[in-house]
Amino acid sequence: MVVYVPHIIHKLDKMLAVWTQMAKDAGFKGLTYIYQSASSSFDNSWNKSLFKYGVEMHPGYVNMYFNNKNKGLFPKLMKYSREIKRILGIKRSLLPEKKKTEVAQCDYDATWQNILKIRPSKENCMIPCAFTDWDNTPRHKMRGYAYKGASPEKFKKYFSQLVDNTLNYYNTDMIFVFAWNEWAEGTYLEPDTDNGYAYLEAVKKAVDEEGLLGALSGPLSAASVGTMAAIICGLVASVFAVPKDRK
């Protein structure tokens, strides 16, 4: 079970204990918990021991990973500012904001190159993550930011390299793809009018070249998108399995 930004959830340990007991009462052995949030990953003030995995949720994770200045600051601001805003009934940001005249832009290639440099520590069971693109201006307007240089062709190249990294450096057989349908943040695998099925085709080509999923043969169609969705799973964040016996 994936839990989003668990470090801001009150009584998290008790909540997970209840869920685990409910699973056992239903005949299961329990639940495996995965946390999903860049802020949660770099906030060491909460109990991660009940989670088997964490997700390197890009592009937020990689930006914090290589920014030591904000690695510890932003998670704490996120955690405590929400509580302050809740108590005082404030809906706007607590940080002073300058009026922006243009949307901030980030480099897609440079970000992916940094993602591929990440080497997880043996103590942390992190799941690697791929992101298709990013543009959250529909949600945040001028306060958002967008990536320049994204394309299905580049995504396919970087995704293939991430598969290799997963096999060589990670203690997991999964890759998260951000995202299946996060339209408000401009990151999705679903077909659109600009690229059609190109991002889904990119995943298919990458896994075909690696010999991982022989079941996906032939061109993608509306019907086979359902097969792809079932394999990579999920709604906002998709997950893709990489057989470890490929090593």
User: 169-201: string of b/e by CB count within 10 Å (b at 16+)?
Assistant: ebebebbbbbbbebeebbbbbebeeebebbbbb
pLDDT score for 197 = 95
How much is the mean pLDDT over the chain? 82
* Residues 25-76: tens digit of each pLDDT: 999 999 999 999 998 998 888 899 999 999 999 999 999 999 865 555 555 5
pLDDT score for 79 = 59
**At which residue do the structure tokens 């298919």 appear?**
204
* Residues 179-190: tens digit of each pLDDT: 999 999 999 999
pTM of the model: 0.80
pLDDT score for 105 = 94
Percentage of the chain surpassing pLDDT 90?
Answer: 55
Q: What's the mean pLDDT in 82-88?
A: 69
20 to 14, 17, 25, 109: CA distances (angstroms): 10, 5, 9, 41
Strand partners, 238: 177
